[in-house]
Structure 1
Amino acid sequence: MENAFRVRLKQQVIPAILYLTFLSGFFGSTLAYPKLSYLFAYRIFLAFLFFLIFIDLMLNGIELKSFLNFSTFFLIGWCAYSLLSFLWAQDIKSAVRDQVFLTINIFVILIFMYYSKYLRWDVFENIILISFIIHLAVGYLEVVTDKHLWTSKVPLYNLHRTPSTFFANPNDFATYLVLYLPFILAVAINKSRNNFFKKWAAFLGAVLAIPLLILTTSRANYIGFLIALFVYFLLAGKDQKKSLLQYGAIFLVFLMLIIGFRLDFGAFNKAVEMIKIQISSLVDFSQTYLSSNVRRELLIVYGLSFLYDYLFFGVGSGNSRVLMEKVKQYTVNVELHNWFLDVLVCYGLVIFILYLIWIVYILYNLFKIKKSSNTLNPPTIPLISSISAFFISSISSSKMIEMRIMWFVFALSLFVLAKSKEEKGEY
């Protein structure tokens, strides 16, 4: 009876709670009572998951052989260095805050790796599709009614007809759309399944995501979206390319009919004009009113100057915003608005270089799986496309360390890599 409990805990209970944790992660603090906003569903499931894993490790021990690899060493090393940076951090409170986010998100990635044997890609895929459709439904509701969820900060900025769904602002929502659109495309063009409803739900989801992305006015994610599509098409097989072109043709014919009969009520022209304005603003470096580009330029300059002052060891976990407060009159913003710059400034040159190497390592191994006859081929293309877009899309959001959706992409990537090794019998 005791052995049966151990097996069931590892193979059924923990995976089930992990799926629920993954699902609730896409909806953040919205799934909470407003007066207890810090205690939302994701954190509750995550705490329960940690508790069950602790019991599992006590009963079954740790299987280190299948766990020790470059990713594990780097992630644990990053977490340890972040703790070490407390020694020279100016503000311990900010350091602790970011340390908590970093540690928890790294633990989530390690959990995906450790329990990969008992997890299934199709379940993750279904969760991503369901979450994506819910986000789209809420996004269009916000655009039509101009009312937002209680966690959104859009009303504070006086932005109208701008979707944010379960995120605090439109930029975060746009980043979510771009990072997860490749997974939705993968479902839509998957010829190995005959689930008509699921495939067309994914196709409609991919199409309907585009207007919402445009309405977010997130310039970096416009570019990220194009990168994701380009990489996906480049890596897709002949059948997948054919499906993409067929769906693209259907969409273009439908769009031409709508515009031709003026059933869009001028929305297309407005969207084109909005995109033109946003793209043209990329070259706006007007210093008379501190344009967004100038502020971001100043954030980079001051961020690197602080890094230099700390001899390239990093200013300490979460301390970039503390130092930027000193020059706020020049930059307006205190967040660096650039995830890669944030990693470099907070954690130093060594961690930054290792972080880039780690991402290249993931991409290289995903490419290897794609070229093989592995049964895990399907998720490799959306994962590579998502990570490729991430290099640009991560510039959009102000503070990426708090965004679970980013960490989930890497968790899914390492899950696929670990699962692939298991199938090859390398463990």
Structure 2
Amino acid sequence: MDRTLILKMIFVLGFLVTLVLSFFYSIMLIVPLLIGIFVFSCFFTLKQLAELTWFMLAIASFFGSILSIPGLESLFLYRLLLPVQITLFLLTWDDWSWMSKRTRTMLLFLVGWLASALITIIWTEYQGIAFRNVYFMIEAIYLLFTAIYYLKADKKIEWLVTITSGVMAVNIGIGLYEINTGLHLSKSGLTDVIGNAQFLPSGIFFNPNDLASFLALFLPITLVYMQSRTIIGSLYKGLLVIGAVYIIIETQSRIAFVLILVILFLLLLRYSWRWGALALLCIPFVLQLPGMQDTINQVNQTYTDKTNSTDLRLDITNYTWQTAKESYFMGVGPGNVQIELAKYFPAEEQNNDGAVSVHNFLLEVLANYGLLSLLFLLAFLFYLFYRSWRYWLENKEKKVKYLIPLLITLAFPFIAFASSTTLEKSYIWISFGIVLAILNQYDKRMETKDETI
């Protein structure tokens, strides 16, 4: 028998054996992963492998611990890919020519945000929590930075968005299953919940608000950037819209519901004012359709039956502001305000770590890292808003895609209220990374044009 064929058979059999053994010895699952990376490296250049790994990292970030090694839930695909991707990035990164001057300024604001947060570690009470929190800051900045690097063309954004649309479809499917059965994935925070909350959807995320925020952020990007020149493609997009809006309604996320309706209407109005006007005129007729009464009742309950939740968030906001003032606006240290808040709330209102989520990212930054850090973050957000506004004004007579950066930038403050822990939500930073990549492409074209004049 041919020696090459024998080696191939040994390789395949060895791969299958380690895969089977991983069901009994979880740590063995790392072996097939390493073999897979080795095989990929034989077919791709190091630079191509780094780019491919980043796309895999971005998609794996949406799934979190769901893609974990059985028995070792802390070791999930995203965490395994991250050090690999960082290594490949450092080995293949060349220079700064791919980044515009304006994008560098925005990233410098984020570096200032991080640096001023690091200073507060000096006086923080809980050092371990502080370093964990800072890690997520670094990770968020890395996702933004590398998104700009790897999404240098619209084609790359279209690839990422097309794959992300599949993640959205999976979430919609899981959400429909949860709504009808009351059963959830093992990683969901609703697993042991009883009563009406049991039938809220959370998809592959921990809670309903995160699912609603993910759909609200990525649905408009998908509608604009995913190519659909066929009837099937257009139908797929239509089903995504219907499914996403329905799931958001069922999550009872008040902010995400208003946000997605406003975004969809603005996109439709920008695409064609006639279609926008027609949509408004059709609303009374749609509300009379069979089955719509249940949906109307659900929306009504979302805004009228959450008095306790609203009161709780107001209390959290007041105590967070009080904590910020007591620290003389210098911050209590990264991640420490969540522990400080636990002193004011009973155990049933705390999370599994004995902390309380702020549900207001800007206020959380002020209380954790101090006023200086907040000013750096606000400078980044305001400059990003300005660049998005200019991008739309300079191209508003053209395609609807020029409105996307402005919509996502305006959506961020609202998403920061809806989500419990914005810093740890990688999908939020990836959506921001897409916006920065779009603006960086445009700025580079303008810089090149100015140089040739």
What TM-score comes out, normalization by structure 1 length?
0.83
| In structure 1, distance between residues paired with 2:95 and 2:214 | 37
1:218 equivalent in structure 2: 253
Q: Is the 8 A contact 1:374 1:420 kept in 2?
A: no
**Structure 2 letter corresponding to 1:216:** T
Amino acid of the structure 2 residue aligned with 1:173: L
Map 1:270-419 → 2, pairs under 5 A? 270-281=294-305, 284=307, 291-329=308-346, 332-333=349-350, 334-373=356-395, 378-419=400-441
- The equivalent of 2:211 in structure 1 is 173
- Please list the CA deviations of residues 298-355 of structure 1 after superposition, one character each: whole Å capped at 9, or x if unmatched: 2111111111111112221111111112222499452112222212211222222332
2:68 is paired with a residue whose SS is coil
* Cα distance change, pair 127–349 in 1 and its aligned pair in 2 (3 A): same
Farther-moved stretch of structure 1 (370-379 vs 114-123): 370-379
Q: CA deviation at 1:144?
A: 2.5
SS of 1:38's equivalent in the other structure is strand
Task: Rate the CA distance shift 1:425–1:391 in 2: closer, same or farther, 3 A.
Answer: same
- Residue in 1 that maps onto 2:130: 95
For the 8 Å contact 2:98–2:149, the answer to whether it is kept is: no
Q: 1:125 to 1:195 in 2, by over 3 A?
A: farther
Residue 156 (1) aligns with residue 186 (2) = no
User: What amino acid sits opposite 1:354 in the alignment?
Assistant: F
Matched, 1:30 2:89: no
Superposed CA offset, 1:188-213 (max 9, x none): 8x7xx523222221111111112211
Contact 1:148 1:155 in 2 (8 A): yes
Judged with a 3 Å threshold, the aligned counterparts in structure 2 of structure 1 residues 220 and 331 are, in CA distance, closer, same or farther, namely farther
CA distance in 2, matches of 1:152, 1:405: 17
In structure 2, the CA distance between the partners of 1:418 and 1:376, relative to structure 1 (3 Å rule), is farther
Change (3 A) 1:347 1:227: farther
Q: Deviations over 1:87-106 (max 9, x none)?
A: 01111111111111111111
> Does 311-320 or 362-371 show the bigger shift?
362-371
State the shift of 1:255 in Å. 7.0
Once residues 332 and 253 of structure 1 are traced to their aligned partners in structure 2, the CA distance between those partners, rounded to angstroms, is 42
**Distance 1:116-1:277 versus aligned 2 partners, 3 A rule:** closer
3-state SS of paired residue (2:192): helix
Cα distance, 1:135 vs. partner?
1.2
Q: Cα 1:421–1:187, aligned 2, differ >3 Å: closer, same or farther?
A: closer
**Aligned equivalent of 1:120:** 156
Residues 373-426 of structure 1: CA deviation (Å, up to 9, x unaligned): 599955442332233233223212221111111111111111111111222344
Q: Measured at CA, do residues 316 and 375 of structure 1 come closer, stay the same or move farther in structure 2, by a change above 3 Å?
A: farther
Contact in 2 for aligned 1:146/1:160 (Cα 8 Å):
yes
1:52 CA drift (Å) = 0.2
Give the aligned partner of residue 16 of structure 1.
52
1:304 and 1:244, CA in 2 relative to 1: closer, same or farther beyond 3 A?
Answer: same
| 8 Å CA contact retained: 1:66, 1:114 | no
Match of 2:85 among 40, 49, 54: 49
418 and 88 in structure 1: CA distance in 2 versus 1, 3 angstrom threshold: same
Post-superposition shift, 1:66?
4.6
Asked if 2 retains the 8 angstrom alpha-carbon contact of 1:105 and 1:407, the reply is yes
- Report the Cα distance in structure 1 between the residues aligned to 2:407 and 2:113, rounded to whole angstroms: 25
Tell me if 1:132 matches 2:168: yes
- Rounded Cα–Cα distance in structure 2 between residues aligned with 1:98 and 1:376: 42
Task: Determine which of 216, 237, 244 is the counterpart of 1:209.
Answer: 244
Give the Cα–Cα distance (whole angstroms) in 1 for the partners of residues 231 and 283 of structure 2. Answer: 18
Q: Is the 8 A contact 1:369 1:376 kept in 2?
A: no
Task: Judge conservation of contact 1:376–1:420 (CA < 8 Å) in 2.
Answer: no
The answer as to whether partners of 1:177 and 1:213 remain within 8 angstroms in 2 is yes
SS in 2 for 1:37: strand
Structure 1 gap segments, 5+ residues each:
285-290
For residues 326 and 86 of structure 1, the distance between their equivalents in structure 2, rounded to whole angstroms, comes to: 21
Listed as ranges, the gaps of 5+ residues in structure 2 are: 1-41, 351-355
Work out whether residues 344 and 352 of structure 1, in 8 Å CA contact, stay in contact via their aligned partners in 2. Answer: yes
Q: 2:408–2:432: 8 Å Cα contact kept in structure 1?
A: no
Q: Distance in 2 between matches of 1:373 and 1:120?
A: 21
8 Å CA contact 2:395, 2:402 repeated in 1: no
1:149 alignment partner, SS class: coil
Contact 1:370 1:377 in 2 (8 A): no
DSSP-derived class of the 2:152 partner: helix
Shift of 1:277: 2.2
Matched with 2:9 is: none
How far apart, in 2, do the equivalents of 1:367 and 1:251 lie? 30
Query: Distance between the aligned counterparts of 2:396 and 2:46, measured in 1?
Result: 28
Q: Does residue 1:194 correspond to 2:211, yes or no?
A: no
The code of the aligned residue for 1:80 comes to A
**Contact between 1:320 and 1:342, CA under 8 Å: does it hold in 2?**
yes
Deviation for aligned residue 1:114: 3.3
Q: 1:300 to 1:255 in 2, by over 3 A?
A: closer
The 8 Å contact of residues 124 and 333 in structure 2, kept in 1 or not, is answered as yes
Alpha-carbon distance between aligned partners in 1 of 2:220 and 2:249, rounded to the nearest angstrom? 17
Quote how far apart the aligned CAs of 1:140 are. 1.2
Q: Deviation at 1:157?
A: 2.4
The change in CA–CA distance for 1:331 and 1:29 in structure 2 (over 3 A counts) is: closer
SS of structure 2 residue aligned to 1:157? coil
